[in-house]
Amino acid sequence: MLQKIASYNPVRKNLLAIEHSQRDGNYHILGLELALKKGELDIVNRFIVTSIGQLSSTIKNLGKASLAITDTQILTKELSSVGTDNEILSEAFPNLNLDDFYYQILKTSTKSFVAVCRKQHIDSIIQQYQKAKIEITEISLGNLKMAALSSHIDSDEISSNSAIIKVDNGEISAMLPKGNTTENIYTIEGLTLDYTYTLPLAIALNYFLHQINTTGSIEIKNQSIANEYKESQFFKKTLQFGIGFLLISLLINFFVFNTKYKKWQELQGEIQVYTTQNESIKNQQESVDTKEAIVKSILNTGFSKSSLYIDQIIKSQPTTVILNSFVYQPISKTIRSDKPIAITKNMISVAGNSIDKADFTTWINTIESLDFVDTVTIIKYGIDKKNISSFEIMINLIHDTAK
């Protein structure tokens, strides 16, 4: 349609252009939803509704919108002169209180068009659209923005939903109330649409191309609401960025914590294994120390005594007796790793072979007569085929702990 709009860089690619009008005392809201595709404008949606609340279910992408108000609250006058805004206002509306009214002026080379409306009415409409999730960023009064189409049509007349616009040499020459005229179809730069949507199209073209220049207090209002919209968008994007950053930070912290926690669990497991092993080693060491102490005790307390006992017993040993073992304080039970070593105190175990029973008996009597011996008990005495007797005796010592 139009030449590519290379300089346009909107906050959103879609734009709503809405005409807020009345018909038979009821809202008559119509407009276009336009999208910028490859630098060109395309009409995405056309709509006509009877309440602002219906827009949410009609418009595909709610957001920013340019609004033209053409209801019965708008007063428009045409002047056959051009001057300053104050001069034009004084001539058109001599007693207008600018504290209560917004005004907008369109100037051509020979004429001026003035539209006015109460501020309270305009502000109320803006609030209603905001409640419907539509942010109004630009307002125009009446059909003044139809001037944006004057250079894009070949006819000297173009109709809008609420007015007939006369065109002369590419400028608006008159704005007339719309009666029961023919419902015209227009083709404007490749876009075909009926008269109903000409004002919304003019709003959109001027928003993108800034072809016409209007003045007035409504422009100050437009600057204010545009700044508010930009600030709200900036705050919204900043909030979204902040929330996104926070979520990413939390996610990173979660992964870091999860990694650290897993490593901590692994270390805890290793510490537990180490603790268990250390405890086991400690217990084993204590057991070894205990047994070593017992052995040392046995050695320290019994070595000199056992030497004395061996010496005395061996001296009395006849030649017919051969000893196989001589154990001082023999072990009384099988040695187990989890039990202390049990010994038979004050006892000597002697085992061997004898070939003469008489000598053996004499030797036993000699041992019993020793001053450190209490009793001698023959545990075993047996004769084999070779007339050799194997024996085992237990010598019970007297007061061994005192010696």
- Domain finish residue from 215, 235, 252: 215
Beta pairing, strands 191-194 & 112-118:
unpaired
What is the per-residue pLDDT for 280?
A: 82
In a domain, 159, yes or no: yes
* Beta carbons of 400 and 305 less than 8 angstroms apart: yes
**Range 326-334 average pLDDT:** 81
Angle between helices 217-315 and 119-131 (to 10 degrees): 30
CATH of the domain at 204: 3.30.420
- Judgement on whether residues 56 and 180 belong to the same structural domain of the protein: yes
CATH of the domain at 382: 3.30.1360.100
Q: Which residue would you say has higher pLDDT here, 76 or 188?
A: 76
* Beta carbons of 160 and 93 less than 8 angstroms apart: no
**Range 156-185 average pLDDT:** 86
- Judgement on whether residues 195 and 316 belong to the same structural domain of the protein: no
In a domain, 122, yes or no: yes
Tell whether the model's pLDDT for residue 114 goes beyond 70. Answer: yes
**Range 321-341 average pLDDT:** 79
In a domain, 325, yes or no: yes
Categorize the per-residue pLDDT at 217 as very low, low, confident or very high, splitting at 50, 70 and 90: very high
In a domain, 317, yes or no: yes
User: Domain of 329?
Assistant: 302-402
Instruction: Tell me the H-state helices in 316-399.
Output: 357-368
pLDDT digits (tens, 9 = 90+) for 43-67: 889 999 999 989 888 887 778 899 9
Per the structure, the count of domains in the chain is: 2
Tell whether the model's pLDDT for residue 173 goes beyond 90. Answer: yes
Cβ neighbours of residue 227 closer than 8 Å, sequence gap 6 or more: none
- Domain finish residue from 215, 241, 258: 215
| Average predicted confidence (pLDDT) for the chain | 85
In a domain, 297, yes or no: no
- Judgement on whether residues 175 and 315 belong to the same structural domain of the protein: no
**Which of 35-49, 60-74, 238-252, 287-301 tops mean pLDDT?**
60-74
pLDDT digits (tens, 9 = 90+) for 373-399: 889 999 888 877 677 888 999 999 886
Categorize the per-residue pLDDT at 300 as very low, low, confident or very high, splitting at 50, 70 and 90: low
**Range 348-362 average pLDDT:** 89
- Domain finish residue from 173, 200, 215: 215
Global model pTM greater than 0.75: no
In a domain, 245, yes or no: no
**b/e map 309-319, b = 16+ CB within 10 Å:** beeebeeebee
- Report which DSSP code applies to 398: S
Q: Which residue would you say has higher pLDDT here, 161 or 41?
A: 161
What is the per-residue pLDDT for 105?
A: 96
In a domain, 158, yes or no: yes
- Judgement on whether residues 178 and 52 belong to the same structural domain of the protein: yes
